[in-house]
């Protein structure tokens, strides 16, 4: 049976599934229940200075649903903990004493000045917590006060605060990054430069999920008004995976430990983040949707998959996908595929045909010899796989690589790898070829 135990920055936990800093980790009662269900660790909801912040006393969440009302995305306007600092610290210490085998990370957010950071770090150390996470990602409420993403969007501030924390604490320092930025590599580089031990990402995405068309205000609505909030849940997973991959393959941050966050709902989601290099994964929306017991499905599913693949530990597959993430310009242009429809599985719904006919390449029939039938026209198929994505029957349509000759281009398919950097249609490639062909003129020795 696979061993799911993790060691992240010297912090041990029985599995890589941690609850992210959020309402589920706001108090001892919640965290106790989470550990009883099997969560490997928690990041305690963000602590700040006293007096505590004040949250709204009305709706705090907005949602995006799928057709079956499955929650796809959750928007929240809640701030950091609104409980007294001493109360949180006492509960953190008690939970850590009672659950010494679980990871206890404390999320922090105080003004961007050295003294407040030094003060709160000393208090957290006394609890016996395993590490701290610097919340540089919250996009609402706190950012207007010069904290959260207001810090996370300025690499120089990230480096400065990370350095303060390393100077004033012996605890491992994790920097939580905001996705509300052009290029996530720059704040990650700053975190490393400041001495941070790891980064966690992504925090929530600044968003308005909907407008109430009766009162013409954003949801959630407070007394007829609404505000932008932080978006999370399954819908943000692709954004999170991309940002994790960018950090994992950046030469300046390669090897920097990462705790992955963003839409993790199943064991498969977790495995994908780990395959990109994450040492742990953090979960919020799935727990808020299905309860703490969801971790049992996550751990059992991941363990079963690892057994099936022959992976004894997380480290056996961690990071294996990162080398396969590349820039578009290096993709093999001589790799040619065509769609194939399994007629035995086809239910003749026609979605593949209409998607291809209306929006793509007119490469799928809807009638053959006067009979309703869906077949791929290889001479028109560009291998885009839109038909695979819209087909409601799993594995009914698959993509098959072809070699030798492409009936669409009516040209032979070269066997060798070739990409855009050397393609004849690339102006820069032509320019390089011209420069390479120009004779080298050596200066006259007499000049």
pLDDT digits (tens, 9 = 90+) for 278-291: 999 999 999 999 99
pLDDT band at 430 (very low <50, low <70, confident <90, very high): low
Higher pLDDT, 433 or 370: 370
pLDDT band at 447 (very low <50, low <70, confident <90, very high): very low
Region 408-436: what's the mean pLDDT?
85
Question: Residue 123: what pLDDT?
Answer: 98
| DSSP string over 58-98 | S--EEEEE-TT--EEEEEE---S--S-HHHHHHHHHHHHHH
Find out whether 133 and 105 touch, Cβ atoms under 8 Å: yes
Question: Residue 340: what pLDDT?
Answer: 98
226-273 pLDDT, tens digit each: 999 999 999 999 999 999 999 999 999 999 999 999 999 999 999 999
pLDDT band at 441 (very low <50, low <70, confident <90, very high): low
pLDDT band at 434 (very low <50, low <70, confident <90, very high): low
Query: 337: which strand partners?
Result: 401
CB atoms inside a 10 Å sphere around CB 314: 24
Q: Pairing between strand 217-218 and 17-19?
A: unpaired
How far is the CA of 10 from the CAs of 183, 230, 283, in angstroms? 29, 31, 21
23-81 pLDDT, tens digit each: 999 999 999 999 999 999 999 999 999 998 888 888 999 999 998 999 999 999 888 99
- What pTM, to 2 d.p., does this model score? 0.93
Q: Is 391 an annotated catalytic residue?
A: no
Question: Residue 221: what pLDDT?
Answer: 94
Question: Residue 445: what pLDDT?
Answer: 45
359-402 pLDDT, tens digit each: 999 999 999 999 999 999 999 999 999 999 999 999 999 999 99
159-190 pLDDT, tens digit each: 999 999 999 999 999 999 999 999 999 999 99
Question: Residue 443: what pLDDT?
Answer: 53
Round to whole Å and give the CA distance between 218 and 63.
12
Q: Looking at 141-145, 354-358, 437-441, which range is the least confident one?
A: 437-441
Higher pLDDT, 111 or 105: 105
Question: Residue 145: what pLDDT?
Answer: 75
Question: Residue 140: what pLDDT?
Answer: 74
Region 87-100: what's the mean pLDDT?
98
CA angle 40, 42, 48 (to 5 degrees): 170
End-to-end C-alpha distance for the chain, whole angstroms? 77
In 3D space, the residue among 102, 103, 112 whose CA is nearest the CA of residue 134 turns out to be 112
Region 309-313: what's the mean pLDDT?
98
212 pLDDT above the threshold of 90 = yes
Round to whole Å and give the CA distance between 188 and 130.
22
Higher pLDDT, 142 or 170: 170
Q: Kindly name the residue from 112, 138, 232, 278 that is annotated as catalytic.
A: 138
3 state SS of 398: strand
Round to whole Å and give the CA distance between 383 and 378.
9
């Amino acid at each position: 049976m696979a061993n799911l135990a993790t060691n992240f920055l010297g912090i041990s936990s029985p599995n890589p599934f941690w609850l992210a800093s959020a309402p589920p980790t706001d108090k001892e009662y919640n965290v106790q229940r989470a550990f009883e269900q099997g969560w490997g660790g928690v990041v305690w909801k963000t602590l700040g200075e006293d007096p505590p912040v004040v949250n709204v006393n009305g709706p705090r969440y907005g949602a995006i649903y799928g057709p079956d009302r499955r929650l796809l995305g959750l928007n929240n306007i809640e701030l950091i903990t609104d409980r007294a600092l001493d109360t949180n610290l006492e509960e953190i210490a008690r939970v850590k004493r009672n659950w010494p085998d679980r990871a206890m990370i404390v999320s922090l957010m105080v003004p961007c000045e050295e003294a407040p950071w030094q003060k709160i770090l000393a208090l957290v150390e006394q609890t016996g917590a395993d590490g701290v996470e610097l919340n540089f990602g919250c996009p609402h409420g706190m950012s207007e006060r010069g904290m959260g993403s207001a810090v996370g969007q300025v690499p120089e501030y990230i480096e400065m605060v990370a350095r303060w924390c390393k100077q004033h604490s012996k605890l491992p320092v994790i920097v939580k990054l905001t996705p509300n930025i052009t290029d996530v590599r720059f704040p990650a580089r700053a975190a490393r430069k400041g001495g941070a031990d790891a980064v966690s990402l992504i925090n929530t995405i600044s968003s308005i999920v909907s407008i109430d068309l009766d009162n013409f205000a954003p949801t959630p609505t407070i007394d007829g008004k609404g505000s932008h909030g932080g978006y999370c849940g399954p819908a943000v997973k692709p954004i999170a995976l991309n940002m994790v991959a960018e950090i994992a393959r950046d030469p300046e941050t390669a090897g920097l430990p990462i705790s992955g966050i963003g839409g993790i709902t199943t064991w498969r989601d977790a495995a994908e983040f780990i395959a990109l290099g994450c040492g742990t994964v953090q979960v919020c929306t799935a727990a808020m949707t299905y309860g703490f017991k969801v971790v049992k499905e996550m751990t059992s599913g991941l363990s079963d998959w690892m057994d099936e693949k022959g992976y004894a530990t997380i480290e056996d597959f961690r990071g294996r996908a990162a080398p396969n993430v590349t820039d578009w310009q290096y993709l093999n242009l001589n790799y040619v595929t065509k769609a194939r429809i399994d007629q035995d599985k086809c239910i003749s719904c026609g979605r593949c045909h209409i998607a291809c006919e209306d929006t793509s390449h007119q490469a799928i029939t809807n009638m053959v010899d006067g009979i309703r039938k869906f077949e791929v026209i290889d001479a028109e198929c560009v291998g885009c796989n839109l038909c695979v994505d819209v087909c409601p029957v799993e594995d009914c349509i698959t993509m098959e690589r072809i070699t030798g000759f492409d009936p669409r281009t009516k040209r032979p398919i070269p066997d060798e790898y070739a990409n855009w950097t050397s393609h004849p249609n690339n102006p820069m490639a032509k320019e390089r070829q011209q420069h390479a062909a120009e004779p080298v003129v050596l200066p006259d020795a007499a000049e």
